[in-house]
Amino acid sequence: MQITDKTAVSIHYTLTNDSGEQLDSSRGEEPLLYLHGAGNIIPGLEHALTGKSVGDKFNVTIAPDQAYGELSPDMVQVVSKRMFDGMDLEIGMQFHADVSHGSGIITITEINGDDVTVDGNHPLAGETLIFDVEVMDVRPASADELAHGHVHGAGCQH
């Protein structure tokens, strides 16, 4: 069976950046399960998987605009340390926050006295990503999976 919209897909992958640094991998763990066509993975990887079958192995390079987007200077701002309610802050700390376009993760990138620079860009924004992928399983998605917009794997509860 080939990967098309409305299929439940299982893949193993290793993700590196264009410097060769490994950023993530499913190998040695459970494969990634997702519902193809539901926007559950980045567009460039979903496009590359379309038409593949169980056992296919391939590498794909994905530009930022088909991954997590370009870096947006509008997503970086300086806020008062008081906004963090007396917390001990460190560069690299991440928080879930409500932002102008919804909610997301912000990362502290600089602390200068009472000024804290936070970055709302995805940590992989601006990165060219290289995926080494192996398709492990492809099956028709169930009606429940289609209704919920994601694959129901082990331990999934609704």
Q: Which residues lie closer than 8 Å to 58 by C-beta, 6 or more apart? A: 48, 52, 133
Residues of the chain with CATH 2.40.10.330: 73-119
pLDDT given for residue 96 in this prediction: 87
Residues of the chain with CATH 3.10.50.40: 7-68+125-148
Residue 20 in tokens:
């060769």
Q: Tell me how far apart the terminal alpha carbons of the chain are, to the nearest angstrom.
A: 28
Instruction: Say how far apart CA 51 and CA 138 lie, in whole Å.
Output: 11
| 73-119: CATH, from 2.40.10.330, 3.90.550.10, 2.60.40.10, 3.90.25.10 | 2.40.10.330
Per-10-residue mean pLDDT, the chain, length 158: 97 96 96 96 98 98 96 92 90 83 83 94 94 98 93 64
Instruction: Say how far apart CA 145 and CA 34 lie, in whole Å.
Output: 10
Residue-wise pLDDT for 90-121, tens only, equals: 999 998 887 666 678 899 999 999 999 999 99
pLDDT given for residue 36 in this prediction: 97
CATH of domain 7-68+125-148: 3.10.50.40
